[in-house]
Every structure is written in C-alpha cells, then in structure tokens.
Chains A and B, each alone.
Chain A
Amino acid sequence: MRLTAAFVSHEWRTQWRSLRFRAFAALYLAAGVAPAVLIHILAPRSGYTFGEATYAMETTTVLPLLTAVFALLLSLDGITREQSDGAWTTVTLCQVSSAGYLLRRWIAILAVILPLTAIPLLAAAAITAMDGVTGLTVETWLAPWLFQVLPVAVTVSAFALGAGTIGGGPLASLPLIAAVLALVPALAGEALHRFRLVIDPPLQGLRLQFVTYAIARAVKAARGDRSWGFGYPMPGSEGGIDLRRMAVQQLVAAAPLAILAAAALGLAVLYLRRTRPDVRPRPIRSDHPFRSFILTWNRLRERYKPDPAPALADRAALVAGLLAASLLAGLLVSRAYGYEALAAVRYAVETGGSSVPRIDPMSAQVVPGLWRVRGEIGPGSRVSFEVSGEMINRGPRPAGHLAFLLDPSLELAAAADSGTVTATRTWDRLALELAPPIPAGGRRELRFRLSGEPARTVFPEGRPGIFARPTFKGGYEQHRDAEFSRDRINFARSFRERSISGRKVDLSRGALVPVPAYAWPREDDETAESISPQAKVELSLSGPAGVFLADSCGGIAVPDGAGARPAGTRLESSCATSLSDLSVVGGRQRLLDERSANEGGAVAAFPAHRRLAGLHLGFLERSADMLKAAWPGIGMSSGRLVVVEWPTDGDAAYWRYHSPGQSFVTVRGNLVFLQESELIWLGEIRPERMVAEILAVRLANRRRVDPGQSLFFQQLFRNVALERLGLGPENGAMVGPVPPSQYETIRASALRQEPWSPYWDSRFPSLISALKSRMGEEPLRAAVEELLARGDDPGAGAGTAAELFALFEKHSPEPVGRMIQEYFLDGKLPYPVLADVRFRRSGDTWRVTGRMVNEGQGEALCKVVLTTDLGPESTVARADGGQAAGFELATRHRPQGVFLDPGHECHRLVESGGARDRVYFEGESR
C-alpha cells in the first residue's frame, strides 16, 4: 500500500512538473468544458429550454473520446518516459515484481487521470447553475462519469500501458495499438461469425459518431443555420437515469476494449525488459542478400522475446490478465447466446414457429368483467400483485381457451374460482385452458399472483434497409441467415428495460395485469390490435416513497417527501377502461397544482420543468370545458384527466416533427403523455390539438371496431375531433396542392390499412372536412355517436365502416351515398377546373358562362361563385369524372371574377402550379 502511494505521489509530482503534461491537461480541460460554454452561448438561440441533463449529456458526449486520447498519451508517456530515462536500470533492480510495478504504475496513472476527468463535469455543473438552472442533482452528473468516462479511463490506460510496455517505446507502441485495434476485431469477427457471434469495435464506447455529430451540430448552430436537423445543444432528458440499464449498456460497450486491456496488461508483465532475454543466434553471412532484413528480424526477436524467468507474481498476473480477458469475453458470449435464445423464442412466437407451443388468441365473445388489482410496487424494481379478473362469455358456445399478453419477466400463478386452470406461456403470451369451459352466457373469476421485475427485453436492431425501418423480425432473419459477419446482430448489446427504474415507472401492457388478447400485436402494424373491450377496474396499490404515480383511471399518488422517513404512496382508483390501456406510470414528476387535481384535471411534470409546464399546460381546466363542448357527454365524466410529462427516450425521439396524421400526445385511458421534448420546446402547445387527441382516444375506447378497419376508425375519430374543435385542414375539403408523384397514393380507399401512407396526411382530413360540409357538423357527430352508442349493448359486434356509412346516410340532410362510394371506398378524386369562362354584357346585366371540367375521377359537386362589386352570385355545378358541366351566372353589378369552390367545401384535387379554379374579369369577352 505504501509503495502504491509512493507510485501515486511520484506520478503526480512528475506529471505536474512536466510541461508536456500541463499542456495535455489544459487542452483536455478546455475541450471538456467547451460543450457547456457552447450551451451557455447558443442555448438562447435554440428554441428550447434546457436543464442540467442537457449540459451533462453534451459534456459526456465528448468526454469519453477526450479521456481516451488523454489516457492513451499519458499512459504511453508514463511507461516509455521512465524506460527511456537513464534511471530505468535503477527501477529494474527494485525488488518489486514486474506485475507489481505495472499494476502500481496503472493505479498511479489513473490517480492522475481520474480527478482531471471530473473537472469538466464540475465546471459544466457550475456553468449550468450560472445559467439559472436550479436543483442540480448528483446523479445527473455522477452517473455519466461513472459509466461513460470512468470505464474509458480505466480500459484505455490499461490497454495503453500494456501495449506501450510490450511495444517498448512510443514509436513502436502506437503502430502496435493501431494494429491490435484494427486487426483483432477483424480476425475475431471472422472467427466468431462461425459461432453466430459478432464483436463490436473496441472503440465503440468512445461514441465517435456522436462526437462528430456534436461537432457538426455545434458548427451549424454557431453559424446560425436553422435548417432541418438538430442544432446545439441537443436536449437531454430530465426524467432521471435508469442506472442499471446505463451501466449494462456502457459496460457492454466498453467490454471489447476491456478484454484487450486485460490481455495486454497481463502480457505486459513479460515485456518490462528488466532482463533482456537470450535468443538463439542466427548468424548472417556478410554477403547474404537479405542481410538487412535478417538483421532487423534478429533485432525484433531480441526486442520482443518475453522477459526470462518471470517471478511467481508475474506469472500469476499473466494468468490473471488472460483469465480476466477470457471471463469478460465469456460474459459477452454468454450474454449474446442468452439473448439470442430469447430472440429466437420471440421470433418463433411471432412467426408461428414450431419450436414453441402455439397459443391462439381468444374469442372476442369472451370479455372482461370486474378486475381488481391489489399489491405493491417495489421494493426496487419488483412488483407483487394479486389480480382477480372476471371473464364473461357472451358467445353462444362454451369457451375454455383464454389468451392474454403478459410480461415474460413476471412469475405467474393462476387459478380460478371453480374448475382447473392450465397455464401455458411462451414469450409474452399466456394461454389459460379452463376445465370446465365458461358456459355460454356464464362467467369465471380468475386469480393471478404476479411477482418479479417487469421489464421489456430490447434487442439491437438489424441493419436497416434502404427504405424499410429495421424490424425485430427482419433483423433476426438477417442475423440467422447471415453470410457475412456484418449481417450478424451483437445480441450481447441487448438489455432489459425495467418497468420500474430511476427514470420512470411504466407498468402497462402486461406488466400490471394479463391483458386479454383477441389478436396478437404485430410489429409491422401497430394498429392491427384494436379489440379492447372495457372492463371495470379497481386498483389498490402501494408504491415506493418519493415516487409520483398516476393510473389510467385518473388516480394519483403524490409522494410525501416530508419527514425523515417519507411514507410510501398509495393509489386507489376505479373506472371502466380497456385492460390494454390500464397503466400505472410515474417517476420524478410532481403535480403542478394539487388543487386543480381535485377538480378533474392534473398536470405532472418534472421538477426542472415545473414553471414551463405551468406556462404551457395551464389551459388544462379549459380543456375539460373544451372536451364537453366538442363532444357533449364525453368530457370529464369518465374521470380525472392526468397529463404526465414523459421522458423522451433516445436521441431520435427529439425529432419534433409530426405529420398531420400523427399525434404529439399519447393517450391511455385518462392518462395523457406529453413528451418532454414537446414541453421544453418554446413554441406554443395548442390546447385544441391536445383535446382533439384525447377526444379521439375516448371515442375509440367506446366501442371495439373491426380490426381490419382499425386504422380508418382511428383516423376518423381524430379528424372528426379536430373538425369539431375547428382544427380541420387549412384548405378544408380541397386536397392539395399535391405533387403529381403523390397522386396514386392519395387516390386510394380509406379502408386500406397502410399507416405510413401520405393518404392520411394529404387526403383523409380533407375528406372528413368535405363530409362535414355535405352533412353538417351535428349530423356527422350524431352518426358517429350512434355507432359508438351501439357499443353499450353487450351483444353488439365490432363496429364496421359499412355500419358507419349507413349511419352517415341516415343522418345526412343531403345524399352522401355516392360520395362515400366514390371518395371513401373507390378512392376516386375529382379534379374540377374552370374552362371557357365568358363575361358578356346585355343591357345592364352581365352574363357569365363557362364550364366546370372534371379532369379527375368521381363526381365533382362544387359551388361556382361570381364575385362582383356588390356581393357574390353563386351556383352549383356537378360533373362526373372526365365530364364537363356548364354554368351560367347573371348579375347587374360589375363582375370581379369567377371562383370555383372558394370556401373549400368541395372535395377536389388542386395541382401544384397554376391555379385553374379562378378566372378574373378583365373586360367583356369577345
């Protein structure tokens, strides 16, 4: 210990007196603090409000790379400086073993590096506080240092020290290091490929791509370039950190370099060159043609033959280094195979493979009744729930097969109030075979005991296709059938995202209760699962102290932070909701105003965003009124609405772009999730849009619909809601202008289930606007309301588009049958334009004639308006696809122009380019 302390104090003293070290350190610190300084300068121009996480995140983006370079230089310098000193022989004669020397040298170098690595973060924290951010937390700064900077410093210094010792000098060591970093993964990659394994580049943990991206962003922001893409800084989440996940991910990323470092440091004990070995002589003739080459070869043999007669401690260190490298490699391999096996199960389950028991979804006739959930959330990430759930068979035949979705990490014990229950589980699917089956019209109470650590297993993505986003299935098949190493997935990078962590509590979709499954969710079609009958739910859960919790019934558990031992929280609520929406969520959030929570609406935001949330979400009380106004009877009667600021996961989530068909909030029951990135954006959050999204979800929850038409209904409810709140498309019923390249995609049936099609952004909102114009606002609402109200009848089947269209016809004062057939079902889109418009004067009357030519398909039924000095005159023209309809208008006032559908009520296409739906008066026609 004393000797180690001597090494440390020697290293400190020597380094601090070295100009070279001081220069390195100054550069390191300047570059490390630069991100925080840049944020200080650029943040006011960025359009976002930033908290401490942003400062910490941007600083730790560059810090691993800087630390790696610093550690590399310092370690190489440390080992080669002393060896090239004339005093080296003094060192070689010390009693300390080579292993002891190297180990202490490593510790001494770390003792110099590590305090320095903390300085940029401390400085960044000081700048953060200076910029007015309050309530800084230790975790936000310590965790990235601990898991992103420390492993880099430890592994790079060990590797450099080992390689520098083996290399025997900076000139030889640097090429050696480069060769090892390049060759070992390449050779290992090819060898591992045969075993379905792949190794990440050893420098993965340095996140080089993020550093170059950060530099590009900083340059862009400094230039004032506000074009598409991120500026500087990129917002970090204030939601807290899932420490275990971060540790696993970062340590797995650091492992390849750690393997090399352990092996290099272990081998280095044989290369300290305290005693130059004796090598077998290979004499060279003076006239040998390869004399120079053989001389060099001889020198290399002498230089790189291991030291002779290693001491016991050295041999032990060698074994320990190689053992550590092997253990780490073994750990990675075991992780890779373990997660690959899980992926294989998931793949087999999702593709109906024969290697797992097949579980069919259950009949839609079996619906949940009263479900009670009691238990505890915590301690730690564990849960313990007692669930009793009633299943009612509304079908004509007995039902003995039930299917559920359930978190695979949870242990399950299932029983029923009568008969026997046989449970089968594969991945996230659970089958219960009941004996005897539930008789037609009968019911059965099931009891579940759930315990464990609910978590989602996240597998690394495969390589994306040119146009396709990577899917689990595609990635797994690519890995399974890989011809080349590059197509393999490194399953060791998989991780478990626990439902309860320091970042958030997200108990939903099988992590809280088994969710009845009437169809299995599909990765490539998130909208396919839409049968979610409502159940009566009663929740009684206790939660950990200091954590905010809210449930989808609108229940809230406010953490009691007072006192030395804050008490745990408690959720008590009940409501009617679909079990697939039943959720308990929370985390660091705190209520903005507990009074408003008692009045039917609550907003919970992260403490760092409290003021911002107050500014943006103060409209919540008004939202309740808006809901009532938009759809009478669907306001707050179904429970308290809880808006929860939700931590944005991953950097990609900060792309704030939403196409018109996408929502910027997610709604589950009475929970409204507002992404953190939306809140910190300094732009206005429009309450109407948020209310429209809530309304759409509530409408969708009232009746199950045909799964094959779920996307249509989802979009219908959203667009009807937006129309009700005056947020219909800017051009009303008019479609466009759209580029010709999109014509085919927008001339499609509304019942086509293609969620990513531009149809939902470019055409469908206009179609609903046209329908509203044709039917009137209230008849449209009445038709939808009647469709949904039929869902209250237990015997009602799934709502269908045909049923809805019939209701449109029933409620509409104008005929809409043809419109539905042509526009909704056939996808026809008229393209009426004005032609041959003539202005003629006859006495004191102006006669205006012309034709409306429909260059598109389907019926064009549009108003033609003649504007004059003293008010407009109008008529309606009707023309089938490819046909023309003449019109004539007369006025005693001087005409100004003829306009086709100036109110944008007629569903029609408008091409990009010249306007052909208006003709201005330029004097009498000849």
Chain B
Amino acid sequence: MIELEGLTKIYADGTAALNGVSLTLDQGMFGLLGPNGAGKTTFLSILVLALEPSAGRRVYDGLDAARPGLRGEIRKRIGYLPQDYKPIPYLTGEEYLLHCARLRGMGGMVGGALRGRVKELIEGVGLAAAARRAAGTYSGGMQRRLGIAQAILHSPRLLVVDEPTAGLDPEERIRFRSLVSEVAENTAVLLSTHIVEDVEATCPRLAVIGRGRLLFDGSPTELLRQSAGRLWRIPSSPGAPGAPGGGPLPPGALEVSYRADRQGDVERVVWSADPVPPGPDALPREVGLEEAYAAFLSREAARQGAPGPVLLEGAGA
C-alpha cells in the first residue's frame, strides 16, 4: 500500500503547485485527472521520488521515503513511464530493455533468464517483430509500449504512467489501455491523464486534482452521481446575452460547456444545483464521465471564482 499524506510543494518562486494532497493507493488502476497546471506532474514527480515535497509524507509498503537509506528499496517498487518518454534511439528495443534490466538489477537475474524476461515483455507489449530495430525508428505508440515494458521489467509494486495515450491514434490508444489494464491485475497503476475516456475505460477509482488540491477521490460512479439529473442542454445562438453560450442562467446554474456546430448553432450544457430545468428550453442531458468531470471542474472553478465553461473535445468545427 502506498500512503501519501499532506503532500505540499511550493517552488522557489513561491508557486504553490501542491497543497496538502493525501491519497492511498493499492492494487488496480487509479486514474488521476486534472486540468493543465493542476499539479498532476508535480504530484507524480513527488510520487516517483523525482521531486522532494515541501511537506508531507510518503510511505511505500511501510517504507518511509523520508529515510534516505530506504529510497533504494522504494525505487525498486516503482515503475514509471513519464509523459516525455523517449527510449535511447541508438539501441534496438531488445538492447534497450536489456540495458534497463541490467540497471534495475532484477533481483540478480542474469544471462538467459534476463533475456527470457526481456523477450517475454517484448512479446507482451507487441513489439516482437520490431525487437531488433533501433528504438529511434519506432512510432509514438511503439515507443510508449516499449516504455511500459521498461517500467514493468522489474515487476514494480506501483506503476505510474503519465499521459500515456496523448498523441496516439485510437487503435493504439485502445491497445495501450488494454496493456495497462493487464498490468493492473497484479500492480497498482496510477494513470495520469486529461483524457477522461481513458480513465472511464480502465479505472475503478479516480482522483481529481485542481490548483494543487485533491478535489475528488472516489469511483467514476460517484463522480457521475454528483451530476446525475443536474445536467441540461440548452440550444442557443452565439452572441446572445450571457456569453459565451447565450442568455443569463438562473441562480445556482452553471454553464459546464457548450458545443457549436457548423451552422453556428450552439448547445449549452448547464449544471443546476437543483434537479429542475434551468430554463424553459432546457432538456435533460445524459451524463457521461466526461461531462460529469467537466461539471465537477466548473463547480470547483465557480467556487474558487475562476472562469467557467470548457469547449468539450470533439465538439464544434
């Protein structure tokens, strides 16, 4: 079990990136959502010991990271696929994994056993055909898969993957999601992403970070429940009062998002505090995790006085 308590990070220039985040991670997939600049990467860096927190406690299977002598043991338990991961381009996939395996020590595994493990992983991530090719020539998806292979080489207790599907085509995304899910059968996997669909598809539990704080920690159903019966769509036209979506909303209602079509028609998605339509034109909207997440962020933004709606992915022109 990984216990994180009150993690706080204030950078040298005074920027507070994390503010008292506490989480507990165990077996299975765990999604980490948050808008850009929310502190996800800072959180992950602290989690994988790449960054020292200003305050807080990290305990990995009972090993406290505050004790320098235990960090080696803790590192053994972590696998990490960073967002900007690139394998060493001159090495083939197989050579690269072998190098990583040797660096990792792999519990004294040598020679044939080490090669066997590497081969097994290469096949596992679907790179057997490209194993002898220089990793620099791999596509983005192949590189990510190789990245997963290097991260789980040593069978870590915790696998942290940061934005693993960004920039991948849909097929590659689906393949990657299943790969990570397979890993999660025996490992705690923290999947950090801003693609809600990935979390929806794989994670039984998720957390939302915003402005350095942990805003939500629970299951996707819980997040959905918070918006169930409170989301409405209101057809509108651009430029109408109450921009960007149109006219004014009744008290307690929040504009979550809007969709624009090619004709310029706009559909506003609105969250209302009470389960009553926020206007005469309002129609109930089916709640998906993406909308629930967006509604959650809007509520949090409104609570903190920040601007509102987001243009949802895939919408509009």
Closest CB-CB distance, A331 to chain B, in whole Å? Answer: 33
In the complex, which residues of chain A have a beta carbon less than 8 angstroms from the beta carbon of B87?
86-87
Q: Is the interface of A mostly helix, strand, loop or mixed?
A: loop
List of B residues within 8 angstroms of A283 by Cβ: 13-14
- By a CB distance below 8 angstroms, the chain B residues around A85 are 86, 88
- A364 to chain B minimum Cβ distance, whole angstroms, is 79
Q: Which residue of A has the minimal Cβ distance to B98?
A: A6
Partner of A90, one of B13, B54, B66, B100: B100
A659 located at the interface, meaning its Cβ lies under 8 Å from any Cβ of chain B in the complex:
no
Contact of A301 among B12, B91, B100 (CB under 8 A): B12
- Once the chains bind, are A282 and B91 in contact (CB under 8 Å)? no
Cα–Cα, bound, A295→B45 (Å):
22
B90 adjacent to A17 (CB under 8 Å): yes
Name, among A298, A299, A309, A312, the residue most crowded by chain B CB atoms within 10 Å (CB to CB).
Answer: A309
Cβ-based interface call for A96 (8 A): yes
Task: Determine whether B26 belongs to the interface, using a CB cutoff of 8 Å to chain A.
Answer: no
The interface bits of chain B over 70-93 (1 if a CB of A lies within 8 angstroms of the residue's CB, else 0) are 011001101110101111101100
Asked if A892 lies at the interface with its beta carbon under 8 angstroms from chain B, I say: no
B103 / chain A contacts, CB cutoff of 8 Å: 3, 6, 90-91, 94, 96
- B86-119 interface code vs A (CB 8 A; 1 in, 0 out): 1110110001100110111100001000000000
Closest to B73 in A: A95
Known A2-B102, A93-B78, A274-B50; contact A13-B91, beta-carbon cutoff 8 A: yes
Interface residue? A311 (CB, 8 A): yes
B51-78 CB contacts (< 8 Å) to partner A: 51-54, 66, 68-69, 71-72, 75-76, 78
Q: Are A278 and B45 in contact (CB under 8 A)?
A: no
The answer to whether B50 and A276 have CB atoms under 8 Å apart is yes
**B51 surroundings in chain A (CB, below 8 A):** 275-276, 278
Interchain CB contact under 8 A, A312 and B104: no
Contacts of B78 in A (CB 8 A): 93
Query: What is the 8 Å Cβ interface bit string for chain A, positions 878-922, against chain B (1 contact, 0 not)?
Result: 000000000000000000000000000000000000000000000
- Cβ A86 vs Cβ B86 within 8 A: yes
> How many Å from the CB of A96 to the closest CB on chain B?
7
Give the residues from 278 to 315 in chain A that come closer than 8 angstroms, CB to CB, to chain B: 278-284, 294-295, 298-299, 301-302, 308-312
Q: Of all chain B residues, which has the CB nearest A17?
A: B90
Q: Which chain B residues lie closer than 8 Å to A282 at the CB level?
A: 12-14
Q: Which positions 111-151 of chain B face chain A at CB distance < 8 Å?
A: 134, 150-151
* Minimum C-beta distance from B107 to chain A (A): 10
Q: A303-336: which residues lie under 8 A (CB-CB) from chain B? A: 308-312
Whole-angstrom distance between the Cβ of A825 and the nearest chain B Cβ: 86
Q: Please pick, from A3, A87, A309, the residue contacting B102 in the complex, using a CB distance under 8 A.
A: A3
The reply to whether B76 and A87 contact each other, CB–CB distance below 8 Å, is no
Report the bound CA distance from A295 to B54 in whole Å: 19
The proximity string for A residues 88-113 relative to B, scoring 1 for CB distances below 8 Å and 0 otherwise, is: 01111111110000000000000000
A-contacting residues, B3-18, CB 8 Å? 9-14
* A281 contacts B80, C-beta separation under 8 Å: no
Inter-subunit contact B105/A96 (CB<8 Å): yes
Q: Which residues of B contact A90 (CB under 8 A)?
A: 80, 100, 103, 150-151
Tell me, yes or no, whether A277 is within 8 Å of chain B by CB: yes
Q: Are A94 and B105 in contact (CB under 8 A)?
A: yes
A87 touches B50 (CB 8 A): no
The answer to whether the Cβ of B48 comes within 8 Å of any Cβ in the partner chain is yes
Rounded to whole Å, the gap between the CB of A176 and the closest CB of chain B is: 20
Q: What B residues does A281 contact at CB under 8 A?
A: 10-14, 54
Interface size on A, residues (CB 8 A): 43
CB distance from A719 to the nearest CB of B (A): 75
Q: Which residues of A contact B150 (CB under 8 A)?
A: 87, 90
Q: Tell which of B91, B99, B100, B105 has the most Cβ of chain A within 10 Å.
A: B99
Chain A contacts for B10, CB-based, 8 A: 281
Q: Is B49 part of the contact surface with A, judged by Cβ < 8 Å?
A: yes
- From A3, A87, A91, A294, B86 is in contact (CB under 8 Å) with A87
Instruction: Give Cα A94–Cα B80 distance, bound, in whole angstroms.
Output: 11
Residue of B nearest to A303 (CB): B12
State how many angstroms separate the Cβ of B40 from the closest Cβ of chain A: 15
A93-B75, A284-B13 are known contacts. Are A87 and B105 too (CB-CB below 8 A)? Answer: no
Q: Are B69 and A274 in touch, CB under 8 angstroms?
A: no
Please tell me if the beta carbons of B88 and A311 are within 8 angstroms of each other in the complex.
Answer: no
Which one of A18, A278, A295, A310 contacts B9 once the chains associate, using CB atoms below 8 Å? A278
Contacts of A275 in B (CB 8 A): 49-52, 71
Is residue A14 contacting chain B, with contact meaning CB distance below 8 A? yes
Given contacts A14-B90, A87-B87, A278-B52, are A95 and B68 in contact (CB under 8 A)? no
Q: A86-B82, A295-B13, A311-B69 are in contact. Are A18 and B52 (CB under 8 A)?
A: no
A93 cross-chain contacts in B, Cβ below 8 A: 48-49, 75, 78-80
Beta-carbon contact of A278 and B53 below 8 Å? yes
In the complex, A522 has a CB within 8 A of chain B: no
B13-A87 in contact (CB<8A) = no
Give the most central of A275, A280, A283: most B CB within 10 Å.
Answer: A275
Q: A480: CB under 8 A from chain B?
A: no
The answer to whether A298 and B50 touch across the interface, beta carbons within 8 angstroms, is: no
Chain A residues with CB below 8 A from B90, complex form: 13-14, 17-18
**Pairs across A and B, CB under 8 Å, 20 listed:** A17-B90, A17-B134, A85-B88, A86-B87, A87-B86, A87-B88, A87-B150, A90-B151, A93-B75, A95-B104, A95-B105, A275-B52, A276-B51, A277-B52, A278-B53, A280-B12, A281-B10, A281-B12, A283-B14, A308-B52
Known: A14-B91, A278-B9. 6 other contacts (CB 8 A): A10-B99, A92-B49, A281-B11, A282-B13, A302-B11, A311-B68
> 3 tightest A-B contacts by CB?
A283-B14, A86-B86, A309-B68
